[in-house]
């Protein structure tokens, strides 16, 4: 027998254990969150300790799990199984409720497995039971047989996939707000006889569930807080990465890919798209002005964790595919309602008039859950952010907020990219114009420089011409004056008189020839000279010239070597012009030949051309002509370097006259100068004349 002293001692011991347990709970709450208050009061715990030992063990197990586990999510996965075992139930559901929206956050379903299965969406039977439990308030929901109960205007007996029969449920409250629902369920079939049998829940079972609800509320709150912190960190990490990418990179495609991949991964959606709009008329981009603008919608980026299978084989890649904005009512609705989001949790949320005009990229039959966020900047819709799920999904408030923040940053990146492209295009256009302007200026500068150079050369030629003409005119005039003065001397001997008359005649002829050359050159350049064509035998002409030059060159030691065909060389040409050309070429060769050398005159009749020609070349050995001087050797008054110092007579008109006469005869003339192989430190200069035989 237990006396009264022993009973008092036992009660005192139980009360002490209850006070210790309450202090443990209070210390745990203070560590988790300073705003927590002890849920289990000492007096209430003391009353609980008076119940059956198995219930006390269950409560202690929950508390120990809370204290020992660093992750509240792990406790939530094991808690439904512990409750089912403690109450002898076959199934258990603990649903975490978002207190701000009173919607399902996460449900943990136990059906016999060691660990519960987390679910984001419940089947209709469980969803109706959760709603009924919340409506019941603080009173437990006790259903002996679900087949005989009607909830939310529908009979639970008609619902498929409902293995349970009896249900006991209650809400959990934390800090005065409902944060969860507990449902204990027994199987519809009796384990003993294998038939469906109702179960009447006892008052003690209801009280035990109510007593445990406060502890479970704390576990749910901790799990929600832990999930919110983890979700907030993931969201902030995504936004930080996106911000850094926008700041450090100008590659819009890379930014879009980072945004859609990160958002899809953070929100754990199966498919994400970024659609960009291209307006045909940039003036009609605002969604608040009149009718729908004509715009092309293009899939700029996509992210998919959707595995190809028989059920979803129609969901492939839509990258770079386009459609008109007017062809999709979903895009039109989001465009017109911007900046509001289009949120569709399930296919049933689609309005009847929306099902016909939806773009194929949304794959409505395979991906019923949809979140469509407009990308907007200054009342202009730039595109859309699309998130899709294969299973129905209730989009949470923090998920919608994250999608809006991501869309805002994407809008900034798109606008910056557009501005950068416009700036680059403007810079490129200005650069092109500047280059064109500089090129024009460079051409004008070069043309002006050439004109100045040409003017300088003309001035130089004029000065040289004046110097040459002055010399060529003054020298004969001086000699003529001296001859006249000498002829006036009295008692002049007849032989002296004849000598001075010869000088006077010679110098007068030289003046006349100079003036005639100038006049002839001017007439040839003005095309005023008529061509007198006649039959000429070149061999006789060359023979006469050779005899006259042999006598002239004898004093200088020059010889003329003529090389010509044996047959006669007949051609139709102007005899006076041809004779003057050959005479000027031989005279020029004699002037610039070194003493005691040979001047070569060669005549050939090549037969390889279509028009019969006669080619005459005159070459001599002397100082040579540079490449630069060869380009101007036929210009008027142009003389080679050093001729003035060497006192070589001439006006610089001979070769210019030759060139004009050759053109007058429809022929060509060229010059070449190269080192001589026969004479050391000497050059061989050759003038080649080509004339048609007509």
Q: Are residues 516 and 539 in the same domain?
A: no
Indicate whether 155 and 270 sit together in one domain.
Answer: no
The average pLDDT across 63-87 equals: 82
Residue with tokens 């430190």: 681
Alpha-carbon gap, residue 482 to 504, rounded angstroms: 9
From the list 198, 246, 196, 626, the residue with the least C-alpha distance to 415 is: 246
628 found inside a domain: yes
φ/ψ (deg, to 5) at 125:
-65, -50
Domain assignment of residue 459, yes or no: no
Cis status of the peptide bond prior to 69, with omega within 30 of 0: no
- Side-chain-side CA neighbours of 569 within 13 Å: the count stands at 23
Position 216 pLDDT exceeds 50: yes
What distances in angstroms separate CA 10 from CA 3, 53, 57, 77, 378, one per listed residue? 11, 15, 18, 36, 76
Spell out the residues 6+ positions from residue 241 whose beta carbon is closer than 8 angstroms to its own. Answer: 258, 262
CATH number at residue 325: 3.30.450.40
**Could you say which of 401, 419, 437 is where a domain stops?**
419
Average predicted confidence (pLDDT) for the chain: 80
Q: Is the pLDDT of residue 37 over 50?
A: no
Tell me what pLDDT residue 291 has: 81
**Adjacent-strand bridge partners of 672:** 686
By three-state DSSP, how is residue 269 classified?
Answer: coil
User: What is the number of structural domains in the chain?
Assistant: 4
pLDDT at 31: 38
Average pLDDT of the segment spanning 149-168: 64
Other C-beta atoms within 10 Å of 76: how many? Answer: 26
pLDDT at 311: 47
The answer, yes or no, to whether residue 168 has pLDDT greater than 90, is yes
Higher-confidence residue of 64 and 459: namely: 459
Do residue 213 and residue 144 come from a single domain?
Answer: yes
What residues contact residue 60 under an 8 Å CB cut-off, 6+ apart?
21
Domain containing residue 540: CATH number: 3.30.565.10
Quick one: 195 and 278 in the same domain?
no
Please list the alpha-helical segments (H only) found in 249-309.
252-267
21 Cα distance to chain centroid: 67
- Report the C-alpha gap between 133 and 140 in whole angstroms: 7
How far is it, in rounded angstroms, from Cα 218 to Cα 76?
11
pLDDT tens profile 462-507: 777 777 777 777 778 888 888 888 888 888 888 888 888 888 888 8
For the chain, how big is the Rg over CA atoms in Å? Answer: 58
Dump pLDDT digits (tens) for 39-57.
444 444 444 444 445 555 6
Pairing status of strand 164-174 against strand 177-187:
antiparallel
Encoded tokens for 353: 């008039």
**173 and 263 both lie in a single domain:** no
Tokens of 679: 């004479």
pLDDT digits (tens, 9 = 90+) for 507-517: 888 778 777 77
Indicate the SS3 state at residue 113: coil
- Are 73 and 209 part of one and the same domain? yes
**Considering the domain boundaries, does residue 4 fall inside one?**
no
Report the candidate in 130, 141, 218 with the shortest Cα–Cα distance to residue 173.
Answer: 218
- Domain limit, last residue, from 197, 232, 267: 232
Pair 158, 264 in one domain: no
Q: What is the mean pLDDT of residues 318-324?
A: 90
200 and 94 inside one domain:
yes
In the structure encoding, which two tokens stand for residue 180, read together?
């969860």
Q: Tell the burial category of 53 from Cβ atoms under 10 Å away from its Cβ (0-12, 13-18, 19+).
A: exposed
64 within domain boundaries: yes
Percent of the residues in the chain that have a pLDDT greater than 90, as a whole number: 25
**Of 665, 314, 674, which is closest to residue 689 (Cα–Cα)?**
665
**Residue 456 forms part of a structural domain:** no
Residues 569 and 518 both lie in one domain: no
Q: In sequence order, which residues have a C-beta less than 8 Å from that of residue 276 and are 6 or more positions away?
A: 297, 298, 300, 375, 382, 383, 414
As a whole number of angstroms, the distance between CA 642 and CA 592 comes to 11
Residue 352 DSSP class: G
Confidence of residue 638 (pLDDT cuts 50, 70, 90): low
Q: Is residue 241 part of a domain?
A: no
Q: What angle do CA 497, 501, 504 make, to 5 degrees?
A: 140
Residue whose pair of structure tokens reads 């000088």 in the numeric block: 503
CB-based contacts of 455-462 (< 8 A; 24+ apart in sequence): 461/635, 461/636, 461/637, 461/638
Sheet with strand 117-119: strands edge to edge: 117-119, 103-110, 91-98, 177-187, 164-174, 141-143
Same domain, 679 and 570: yes
Using the predicted structure, report yes or no on whether residue 139 has a pLDDT greater than 70.
yes
pLDDT at 250 over 70: yes
Instruction: Convert 655-671 to b/e letters by CB count within 10 Å (16 or more is b).
Output: bbbbbbbbebbebebee
Verify that 292 and 374 share a domain, yes or no: yes
- Domain hosting 501: range is 489-523
CB atoms under 10 Å from CB of 234, counted, come to 16
The answer to whether residues 122 and 72 belong to one domain is: yes
CB 514 within 8 Å of CB 508:
no
Closest CA to 180 of 226, 224, 118: 224
* Domain annotation covers residue 448: no
- 18, burial (CB in 10 Å: exposed 0-12, middle 13-18, buried 19+): buried
Residue that terminates a domain, selected from 419, 437, 464: 419
337 within some domain: yes
């Amino acid at each position: 027998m237990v006396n009264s002293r022993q009973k008092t001692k036992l009660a005192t011991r139980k009360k002490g254990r209850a006070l210790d347990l309450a202090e443990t709970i209070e210390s745990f709450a203070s560590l988790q969150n300073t705003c927590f208050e002890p849920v289990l009061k000492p007096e209430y715990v003391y009353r609980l300790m008076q119940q059956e030992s198995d219930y006390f063990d269950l409560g202690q197990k929950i508390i120990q799990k809370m204290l020992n586990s660093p992750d509240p999510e792990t406790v939530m996965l094991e808690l439904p199984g512990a409750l089912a075992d403690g109450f002898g139930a076959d199934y258990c559901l603990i649903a975490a409720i978002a207190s701000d929206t009173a919607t399902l956050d996460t449900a943990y379903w136990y059906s016999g497995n060691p660990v519960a299965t987390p679910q984001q969406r419940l089947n209709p039977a469980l969803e109706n039971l959760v709603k009924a439990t919340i409506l019941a308030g603080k009173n437990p929901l006790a259903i002996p047989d679900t087949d005989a109960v009607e909830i939310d205007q529908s009979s639970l007996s008609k619902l498929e996939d409902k293995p349970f029969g009896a249900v006991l449920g209650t809400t959990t409250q934390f800090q005065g707000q409902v944060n969860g629902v507990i449902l204990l369920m027994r199987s519809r079939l009796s384990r003993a006889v294998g038939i469906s049998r109702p179960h009447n829940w006892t008052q003690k079972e209801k009280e035990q569930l109510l007593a445990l609800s406060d502890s479970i509320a704390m576990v749910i709150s901790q799990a929600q807080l832990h999930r919110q912190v983890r979700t907030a960190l993931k969201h902030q990490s995504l936004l930080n990465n996106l911000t850094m990418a926008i700041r450090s990179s100008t590659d819009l495609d890379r930014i879009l890919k980072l945004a859609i991949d990160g958002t899809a991964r953070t929100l754990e959606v199966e498919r994400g798209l970024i659609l960009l709009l291209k307006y045909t008329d940039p003036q009609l981009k605002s969604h608040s002005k009149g009718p729908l603008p004509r715009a092309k919608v293009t899939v700029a980026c996509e992210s998919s964790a959707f595995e190809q299978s028989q059920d979803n084989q129609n969901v492939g890649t839509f990258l770079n595919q386009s459609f008109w904005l007017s062809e999709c009512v979903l895009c039109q609705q989001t465009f017109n309602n911007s900046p509001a989001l289009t949120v569709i949790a399930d296919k049933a949320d689609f309005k009847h008039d929306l099902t016909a005009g939806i773009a194929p990229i949304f794959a409505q039959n395979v991906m019923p859950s949809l979140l469509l966020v407009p990308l907007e900047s200054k009342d202009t819709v730039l595109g859309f952010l699309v998130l899709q799920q294969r299973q129905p999904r209730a989009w949470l408030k923090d998920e919608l907020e994250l999608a809006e923040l991501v869309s805002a940053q994407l809008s900034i990146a798109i606008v910056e990219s557009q501005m950068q492209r416009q700036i680059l295009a403007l810079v490129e256009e200005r650069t092109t114009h500047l280059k064109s302007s500089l090129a024009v200026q460079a051409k004008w500068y070069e043309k002006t420089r050439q004109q100045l150079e040409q003017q300088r050369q003309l001035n130089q030629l004029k000065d040289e011409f004046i110097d040459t003409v002055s010399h060529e005119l003054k020298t004969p005039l001086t000699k003529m004056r001296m001859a006249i003065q000498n002829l006036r001397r009295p008692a002049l001997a007849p032989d002296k008189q004849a000598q001075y008359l010869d000088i006077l005649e010679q110098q007068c002829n030289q003046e006349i020839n100079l003036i005639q050359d100038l006049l002839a050159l001017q007439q040839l350049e003005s095309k005023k000279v008529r061509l007198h064509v006649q039959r000429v035998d070149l061999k006789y002409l060359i023979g006469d010239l050779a005899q006259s030059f042999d006598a002239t060159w004898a004093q200088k030691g020059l010889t003329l070597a003529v090389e010509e065909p044996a047959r006669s060389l007949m051609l139709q040409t102007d005899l006076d012009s041809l004779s003057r050309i050959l005479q000027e070429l031989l005279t020029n060769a004699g002037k610039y030949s070194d003493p005691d050398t040979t001047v070569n005159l060669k005549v050939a009749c090549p037969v390889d051309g279509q028009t019969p020609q006669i080619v005459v070349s005159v070459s001599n050995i002397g100082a040579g002509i540079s490449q630069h001087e060869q380009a101007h050797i036929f210009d008027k008054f142009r003389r080679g370097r050093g001729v003035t110092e060497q006192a070589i007579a001439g006006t610089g008109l001979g070769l210019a006259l030759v060139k004009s006469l050759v053109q007058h005869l429809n022929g060509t003339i060229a010059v070449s100068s190269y080192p001589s192989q026969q004479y050391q430190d000497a050059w061989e200069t050759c003038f080649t004349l080509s004339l048609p035989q007509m």
